Chains A and B, each alone.
Chain A
Amino acid sequence: MAKKILVVDDSKTALMMEREILERRTTYQCVTASDGQEAVEKAQQEHPDLILMDVVMPRMNGFEACKMMRQQPGTREIPIVLVTTRGEESYMEAGFQSGCNDYITKPVNGTELIALLESYLGKA
């Protein structure tokens, strides 16, 4: 059964690209959300194997969504990879405190992204 990834970004362009990378170059199944609040809801409904989530988003940002998912039994154990424009240590420390497992910086390189996802989900 294909592993399922929830991709979260308010940018249509980022969503289109990440979705295309995953669908063309992996066997992972892809579902999407466009902000943190929708991500929390979709994570509860879809039970993804991993969440790939932008940080800066309207309504609820990636850190807040991450924290909320860590408090809920159904999503507590799902690996969360944050996608960020800011890779500074102090900034990502806040990401890890919110409960994320890993992060990748923009602009996203498809090969690096797949390698990172495979480290959590196994060979795509």
Chain B
Amino acid sequence: MNGDNSNAYGAKAAAAEPTNDVRLRTAHNRLLESSGQEDAIEAVREIVANFLGSEEMGLFRVDRRTKTFEAFWSFGIDLEEYDLLRTLGDVGLQRIMRGECHIEFGVRDQAGAMAKAQAFIPIRVGDQTIAVLAILRLLPQKAGFERSDMEIFKLLSQEAAKPLFGPTSHETTGREGSGIRV
């Protein structure tokens, strides 16, 4: 996937491969089988919590008319107090609008836990980014993002839009390009 800003994948990647097929299939089926927006949001929360190991996340939607990101939903954090632009910067946001994931693999703190690991996943319809899923902190036992996580990011990026926002989501959201304000 484009936009991975590190090659420091977790050491457990190989051992996780058989599990990864199951995770991908489960995530795909869970999204497809979700019944309505509320259940689709729950599906995304469950996929992030159970497969990626985070219980702090938020979803921002691109407003077509104003070309801004709007806080849409969050779990474990208050999006009203969260500044997406300051976190990502203009360049980071432009990359996301082009469809690239922005992944920060984090640093180990003194206790050995992975701190400041976070990921920003563009939710795409065709060649448009219509929303951004922010995954903001990993559980202490999760030793950073792994190679297999990239496939979950890709799946969410490509398949979450329709369950989350409906089949006509591209008609009500913004076109990508310059002038994105937050």
Contacts and interface: CB of A to CB of B under 8 A. Distances in A.
A45 interface: no
Given A85-B55, A107-B53, A17 B139 contact: no
Given A87-B141, A105-B141, A12 B52 contact: no
Contacts of B52: 107
Which range contains the number of B residues in contact with the other chain? Answer: 20 to 34
Interface string B1-42: 000000000001001101100110111011000000000001
A16 B30 contact: yes
B140 interface: yes
Interface string B134-147: 00000111100000
7 contacts: A11-B50, A17-B26, A17-B51, A107-B50, A107-B142, A110-B18, A110-B22
Top 3 closest A-B pairs, CB basis? Answer: A13-B46, A110-B19, A17-B26
A2 B96 CA distance: 49
Nearest to B52: A107
B164 interface: no
Interface string A1-45: 000000000011110110011001100000000000000000000
Interface in B46-96: 46-47, 49-53, 55
* Interface SS, B side: helix
Contacts of B49: 11, 85, 106
A13 B18 contact: no
Most chain B Cβ neighbours within 10 Å, of A21, A85, A105, A111: A85
A106 B18 contact: no
Interface of A: 11-14, 16-17, 20-21, 24-25, 85-88, 105-111
Given A106-B50, A107-B142, A110-B19, A13 B25 contact: no
B103 interface: no
A124 to B, nearest CB: 13
A17 B18 contact: no
A17 B16 contact: no
Contact of B12 (A17, A24, A109): A109
A14 B19 contact: no
Contacts of B18: 25, 110-111
Nearest to B53: A107
Contacts of B131: none
Given A16-B26, A17-B26, A107-B51, 12 more contacts: A12-B46, A14-B50, A17-B23, A21-B22, A24-B22, A85-B49, A107-B139, A109-B12, A109-B15, A110-B18, A111-B15, A111-B18
B30 A20 contact: no
Given A109-B19, A110-B18, A110-B22, A13 B55 contact: no
Given A12-B30, A108-B50, A109-B16, A20 B140 contact: no
Contacts of B42: 12
